Structure 1
Amino acid sequence: MWRLQWLFGWLHFVLAVPSIYLLLGLPLVMREHGWSGTEIGLFQLTGLPAVFKFLLAVPVQRYRSAQGHYRLWALGLCLLLALLLVLASQQAITANRLLLFGLAFAAGVLATWADIPVNALAIRLLPQTQRLRAGGIRSAALFLAAIVGAGVMLLVQQHWGWQAPFLLMAAGLLLALPFLGWLQEADVNALKPQAIKPARVDWAGFFRQPGARLWIWLLLSGFPFLGAAWLYLKPLMLDQGMPVQQVAWVAGVGGGVVGALASVLGARLVQRLGPARVTPWFMVGALLALLALTGAVWLQASTSWLVAAAYLLAAAMGAVSSLMFGLMMFFSRRHHQANDYGLQASLFVLTRLLVPIGAGALLDRSGPAGMLAGLCLATLGVCVLAMAARRSIDQATEGAFIPVERVDQASGKRSSPIRSTQ
């Protein structure tokens, strides 16, 4: 199972780095070359495809192949993204700006699209006992991608020029393709070619799952308030008098490392205790992290308190995001993995984009402490919702925490790390 986990973790990493570089790293290069604030702001629209994952999931779920349904989709889309990154490397920052926007938008579409079959493949191949660990690894990969995409790639660009980041990102994708090609989808390959028919989209069936409605509300609200606080953390640190370089190290590098570690350790804790029991405690931890940050800003506390609060917030983000990603896998039905994952991912991204807008308005109206207090109040409501959703989560994950060794002993067989165990 670890071979699969590492492969999917690497795929999440190499798919996330291009989007983060284009959205968070490249604007600095654009500004150096005379792009206006409006042009840089409009360039952020290249991240819009993430909202429409539920539509991109339809062809992935509908059109099947006897040689490996999700595997072939993932291979094709990752290859196209790598080729597009190579094409972008042949342009220049001084090239036609509309052309650069078009290439970046196409890269955003392909990265978002490829994420769907990759996650659907993970849901299909990983047994239930491994899904929460997969959520932790995915969350850790995204934190590390943020460090690389918004930091390391800028250094690469400064030292080796415009082409280097794009070629490195393309190489990372191409490196994963042979390993992805060796995977086998047992339940698809078991079907005869004439039995492979287009699958019907059944979003209504997703909401008819036991506990799905409460889960959707938790999915919509569990992460965005933490994400909004993290988005405004750097400006808040600057307002508190912290030097720019220190802010970059604390919030950029240190926060990413803490978030990645919390993702892995949080997933391990959930595996030991079960998600139904841990979910409310993770939300309480998120509330405590926000309260610590609110206190540090309101009291204009020392730098060490502010740094400690920032790391608490990063740890809460890592633990909560790993839990959310893991539970998304449990609420994806068999034979509908792509559609169900795409729908949940769209809802997750939608609130993650909308909440910071409201938080920004609250910041302008009530100041930093008022904004953080509002986020704390909203997170308190999430804690109550998490308590109410425990039974729904327990229903979705029932039977998922039997040790693999016990299952193997009972069956007298040793499960393969490559073929599906479902």
Structure 2
Amino acid sequence: MTKLRLLGLQLAFGWMNLVLAVPAIYLMFGMPLVMRQHGWSGTEIGLFQLAALPAVFKFLLALPVQRLRLGRGHFVHWLLLLGAVLLALFWLIGRHNLIEQRLPLFALTFAISIAATWADIPLNALAVQWLPRSEQLRAGSIRSAALFVGAIVGGGLMLLVQARWGWQAPFVLMGLGLALGCLPFLALRARAALPALEAADAAQGVLADWAGFFGQPGARQWTWLLLIGFPFIGAAWLYLKPLMLDQGMPLEQVAWTVGVAGGVTGALFSLVGGRLVPLLGTARAIVLYLLAALCALVLLSVTVWAQLGPRWLTGCVLAVAASMGALSALMFGLTMFFTRRQRNASDYGLQSTLFTVTRLAVPVAAGLMLDHLGQLGMLAGLSVGVLCAFAFAWRVRHSVGGRAESLLAAE
């Protein structure tokens, strides 16, 4: 496959990851600001976040994608079908301003969350199917960068679009972006066919599929690393805005520092981190990226404890964003390495669910620590979590890294 063709595929996957991420970020992280302005209570805004629950059940959503074949190139057909459903939902939610209609807004947001979560499965199954193993780390870094850019677009730019052009405008733009992203896959659907499964493989049940995933060399160690490697630095990022406000930094400065500068830094280091992995080696990259995350959290803790001021806080934000970007790129790339080509959807869905469970649980625990132990207590707890992840990664680095290297060598 030529470099130009690979670049085109990477851009197509990156764009689709972006347009699938923006709606959820806009509705669940950007919209609460508008909700508050229209009198929504804190409890109502908190309950609205339950619309993100479909991500926890991605392993179940993956089963029909893997097993129900929609003709030749069925992953593309699944992606296009779910893209069409998402476009219809954008039209429904954008017809009328629903900010005062809590139940319809939640119902449509929940439906959009299901469709976007579901569409992510055939999209990344196609990435595993189409891209050589040597390109999958780059795909992971591009996906990580797309999520950082999605946070800037969905959590900031779309709010400005709505304020200037009204309720419908963001959904029109998101629909256009999605339709544009589907076009390359429509053109390439002929190459999406999978080789026929052997009869024994095709007859396997769901439990046998999952047992096969865990039976891969290094898969058990990778599963634990997937559960604990990212959530602690991710939780720190989630609480950075309120933490900086509590430290006396003005709201506008917080928005620019975390929302824009931090997002851009995370996106850049996602790309850089993915490129460095082949040079460092997977085993070394795992421990180095977790060490960088630990150092960033310790620096932030010292800055808060010593009251070093806005400049140090800004530097800490960028350090957390950089380490989180590099680490997420590596985690996404390794997720693809541990996704078997003949079980693209089911393996990817299972890993995504495992990742999501702790990514949602750790921020809840961090919030409890913040309420009962204060900022330093929360930061200390998250730092201990990253330290444990680093110690575990040091122990299993050769098992996990060896799997990646063996797949690259076999290609």
Alignment of 1:258-407 (within 5 A): 258-401=265-408
1:7-406 alignment to 2 at 5 Å? 7-94=12-99, 96-184=101-189, 186=191, 188=193, 191=196, 200-201=205-206, 202-401=209-408
Residues 353 and 301 from structure 1, CA distance in 2 versus in 1: closer, same or farther, beyond 3 angstroms?
same
Aligned partner letter, 1:305: W
Give the C-alpha shift of residue 94 in structure 1.
Answer: 4.7
Distance 1:233 1:336, change over 3 A: same
Q: Distance in 1 between matches of 2:233 and 2:97?
A: 36
What are the superposed Cα offsets for residues 130-169 of structure 1, whole Å, 9 maximum, x if unpaired?
Answer: 0000000000000000000000000000000000001100
Q: Which protein is richer in helix relative to its size? A: 2
Mapped to 1, the partners of 2:170 and 2:203 lie a distance apart of 39
| Unaligned 5+ runs, structure 1 | 408-421
Matched residue of 1:91: which SS?
A: coil
- State the alpha-carbon separation in 1 of the partners of residues 63 and 225 from structure 2: 24
Q: Secondary structure at the match of 1:335?
A: helix
Structure 1 residue 113, shift from structure 2 partner? 0.3
Count of paired positions = 403
Are the counterparts in 2 of residues 51 and 350 from structure 1 also a CA contact under 8 Å? yes
Q: Match of 1:291, as an amino acid?
A: V
Q: In 1, Cα distance between the equivalents of 2:101 and 2:30?
A: 19
Residue identity in the other structure for 1:364: D
Shift of 1:190: 5.5
Q: Aligned partners of 1:180, 1:174: CA distance in 2, in Å? A: 11
**Aligned with 1:6 (options 11, 30, 35):** 11
CA offset digits 1:73-131 (Å, max 9, x no partner):
11111121012111111021356321111111100000000000000010100000000
Runs ≥4 residues deviating over 6 A:
194-199
After superposition, give the CA deviation of every residue in 1:158-190 in whole Å (9 maximum; x if it has no partner).
Answer: 000000001100110001112111224657365
* Corresponding letter in the other structure for 2:109: A
Contact 2:72/2:192 (<8 A) preserved: no
Q: Distance in 1 between matches of 2:201 and 2:212?
A: 21
Letter in 1 for 2:402: Q
Q: For the structure 1 residues 60 and 199, does the alpha-carbon distance in structure 2 shift closer, same or farther, using more than 3 Å as the test?
A: farther
RMSD of aligned alpha carbons: 2.0
Return the alpha-carbon distance in structure 1 between the equivalents of residues 181 and 32 of structure 2. Answer: 28
Deviations 1:204-234 (A, max 9, x none): 1111111111101100011110011111111
Mapped partners of 1:232, 1:30: distance in 2: 20
Percent of paired sites with the same residue: 56
Decide whether the 8 Å contact of 1:143 with 1:260 is kept in 2: yes
Residues 66 and 196, structure 1, Cα contact 8 Å, conserved in 2:
no
- AA matched with 2:374: G
Q: TM-score, normalised by structure 1?
A: 0.92
**Offset at residue 65 of structure 1 (A):** 3.5
Deviation for aligned residue 1:358: 1.1
Please report how far the alpha carbon of residue 243 of structure 1 lies from its aligned counterpart in structure 2 after TM superposition.
Answer: 0.6
Letter in 1 for 2:342: H
Partners of 1:116 and 1:372 lie apart in 2 by: 34
The Cα offsets for residues 361-397 of structure 1, whole Å up to 9 and x where unpaired, read as 1112221112111111121111111111212223321
Return 199-208 or 212-221, whichever deviates more.
199-208
Q: Structure 1 residue 199: deviation in Å?
A: 6.9
Deviation at 1:5, TM superposition (A): 0.3
Distance of 1:173 and 1:272 partners within structure 2:
35
Note closer, same or farther for the CA distance 1:254–1:187 as it changes in structure 2 (3 Å cut): closer
**1:195 Cα deviation (Å)?**
12
Amino acid at match of 2:30: G
